[in-house]
Amino acid sequence: MAIAIEPFTITRAGKPAETLPRCSGVYRFFDAAGALLYIGKSVDIRSRVTQHINEGRKPGRHQRLMSQVRQVDCQMTAGEVGALLIENEAIKREVPLFNRRQRRLRRLWTITLTPSAEGFLQPTAIDFLPVATRNIDTFGLYANKSRVISSLQNLARDHALCLRMMGLDRGHGPCFQHQLGRCDGACAGEESTMAHNARLLDQLARQRIAAWPFEGPLLLAEHTIKPIEKQPEQQFHLVDQWAWYGCFDTLTAAHDALLTEQTPAFDRDAYRLIYSAMYRGRVNLQDVTTGQPVVNVLLSKNPHTS
């Protein structure tokens, strides 16, 4: 639901946005002609917009933004996760003038790991399909294959990994980088397969795109204990293979979207938001067809919740 406050002009004295709700959601700034200037999110919309107004009194880019604002619309959500996901999608789709540009990446490459005959994990560059079954872990998203190779070369150089054991350098025996003291010696028998693999995985971990750990699509249910007027008490985020279909107020609407909507493309930012929400246990998981609870297998991987 969108709510518009009365048009206002930012003055030296300022004017509080008292008609905006004090709950989580997404807000949009428009100029006098109705052009979209900015999209933001907050757990307290009124407080955040008031902060914008105060920051707009100082010279700079923020003042240029706020001097043009004449209307604020807001979309209330049941929680912060919904606000984050809606904001991410809206910025990319609506392209506000003052938001940092976030473009959807098209043709992408990623890294898979395959063990060699000796057991060393070897990275390989493959196409990352925007719509696909995510049944294996991959690492990173790259604009082209050459960037994959250069990234792996830099990774090996910075962390003394062996390019030869990674399958990126031909030859036998100790590699040239080992002779220069830039390889910890997996190629010379001075570092075990297990140790080399562990260091490689440790460095790639921050770029991991996890395999989808569920049998099919599911709902991320978000609730608020004391909803204010017109705020949704609960909302459902329909997700499959890390792709976000959208935010729905009812189970029926979410189920209908799964049957009628085109499968959305993978979005890296949405993936990070969804994974974080599940890993931290900030949402409840439900079966999209029955509404029954689904075990959150990611919680077992979080040492703070196990």
Query: Rounded to two decimals, what is the model's pTM?
Result: 0.88
Q: With a cut of 50, list the residues of the chain below it in pLDDT.
A: 1-14
pLDDT at 11: 37
d(CA 298, CA 208): 14
> Terminal CA-to-CA distance of the chain, rounded, Å?
37
pLDDT at 6: 40
DSSP codes of every residue in 171-240? -SSS-HHHHTT-S-SGGGTSS-HHHHHHHHHHHHGGGEEPPP-SSS-EEEEEE-SS--TT--SEEEEEEE
Domain extents in the chain: 2-94, 108-209, 218-300
pLDDT at 16: 56
CATH 3.40.1440.10 fits 2-94, yes or no: yes
pLDDT at 102: 67
pLDDT at 165: 96
pLDDT at 103: 63
Largest Cα–Cα distance of the chain, in whole Å? 74
pLDDT at 68: 93
**Helices 145-159 and 193-204 meet at what angle, rounded to 10?**
120
